[in-house]
Amino acid sequence: MKFYELSPERRRDQLVQEGWLTTQDAALLAGTHSLPEVTGARLIENAIGEFPLPLGVARNLLVNGQLHQVPIADEEPSVIAAASNGARLATANGGVRTHVAAHRVVAEVVLTNLTDLVQARQTILAHQTDIQKVIAVAHPSMIQRGGGLDQLTVESLGAQFLKIRLTLDPQQAMGANYANTVAEAVAAAVKSWVDGDVLVSILTNAPTELVTAEVSLEPASLATKAVSGDVIAKKIVQLSELAFVDAERAVTHNKGILNGIIGAVLATGNDTRAVAASIGAFACASGRYQPLSRWYMDQGHLVGHLQLPLPMGAVGGAIGALPMAQVVRRLGGYQNLAIMQQVIAALGLVQNLAAMRALAGPGIQAGHMKLQANALAIAAGATETELSMLVNALRQGSMDLKHAQQYLTTIRLNKKVGQSKDENRD
């Protein structure tokens, strides 16, 4: 049998036999699962186990007057701490106001080798009613739910290509499979109306609808023990302005926004690659890479404004197949797709706020390295009873894995010495 035809257990056995896995590796893979093995095996090709990430929650984020607990799947120690801190600041100042445009997905059918692009375009436009019928037949259940074709355009791209752009309403689904199904059906029909060849028929991950989030803060609420709120607010504005003229700063600025967003999207069972690709394209829409948020002073308040695309769904695919995604939806208060998108955009804004405040105040490493000590202690092999001692040693000494291992060795030696003394006293 071919590898993809084997069960996960037999795939693990084969990888052990070939020397790619140890028996201990295989046992860990076999024992690490929250999904029924058949579910994992059906969701992806060549499944051999699961790769769990910690699931945390950013607490008490107020969005459009409603309080949300925002689940985030992530591996970086400081992400959720920063998100919760940003949420605390925003909520104390009245929360985040958000808005999302109507959810749409775009498919494109591109033709080439046409004798006459102008004539072909006119022919296709004359068949708009037929195209609507093709779309209805290709996915009738979407039409029954109120979705379907929203807009059709046909444009020439250079002297070689003719592009049919289909804007579709996928209702609560992300819409990728729907868009691909529709695109292929339309492509098959178009071939009977014009000469030339279909080069591609597929969805596009280019930005469509945008989500906006905005927060207004009293500068005094931003103060730290060492820096006044007015100074921090001023520096946040300057950092924002810097990101608009320094592309390298803009990339890191946006990474800070995505810290929470990507983990929150992942937790819902949505496609993080589609979100990242769409956001990257949007950041470059002006022809130059730009920050996704802007911070400025308005009537004595620090205002943060974020706008970005979030191509997501609330139903379908892994969203419905993963039990944890359903838990996340309930915990986040995501009653529908629009709320999910708006809460996650608000999360990105408060994550940005926390990062900017840290940069303007004590610096990014002060809080980050405190949390990083836990990850280093675990990586060094500390047990539950050794963790707190090793974390304290790391905070007082050097923060790297080599020193973590040395400190752990010392902790264990001291423990043995202590035990020996106790035994001698007995």
Alpha-carbon distances of 313 from 230, 241, 307, rounded to whole Å: 40, 34, 18
Residue 111 burial (C-beta neighbours within 10 Å; 0-12, 13-18, 19+): buried
Type and span of the H or E element at 72:
strand 66-73
Q: Which of 304, 299, 279 is nearest to 354 (CA)?
A: 304
Cα Rg of the chain, angstroms: 27
Does residue 197 carry a catalytic annotation? no
The active-site residue, picked from 25, 37, 50, 76, is 76
- Report how far Cα 202 is from the mean position of its chain's Cα atoms: 22
The residue annotated as part of the active site, out of 197, 248, 255, 421, is: 255
211, 100 Cβ separation under 8 angstroms: yes
CA distance 199 to 177: 19
- Is residue 37 flagged as an active site residue? no
Is residue 76 among the annotated active site residues?
yes
Alpha helices in 152-299 (DSSP H): 176-190, 229-245, 247-267, 272-283
The residue behind tokens 């986040």 is 332
Sign of CA dihedral 24, 25, 31, 32: positive
Integer Cα distance of 218 and 350 in angstroms: 15
Nearest to 316 by CA among 145, 126, 75: 145
| Catalytic residue (choose from 33, 191, 305, 368) | 368
| Catalytic residue from among 74, 108, 169, 271 | 271
Residue 139's φ and ψ, nearest 5 degrees, are -150, 75
Give me the amino acid identity at 66.
Q
8 Å CB contact between 402 and 408: no
Q: Is 218 a catalytic residue?
A: no
Beta pairing, strands 161-169 & 105-112: antiparallel
CA 6 → CA 28, 98, 387, distances in Å? 19, 48, 41
Measured in whole angstroms, the distance separating CA 251 from the mean position of its chain's CA atoms is: 16
The total number of residues written for the chain in this structure: 426
Residue in the block written with tokens 């296709």: 124
Of 303, 345, 346, 328, the closest CA to residue 209 belongs to 345
User: Could you list the active site residues?
Assistant: 76, 255, 271, 368
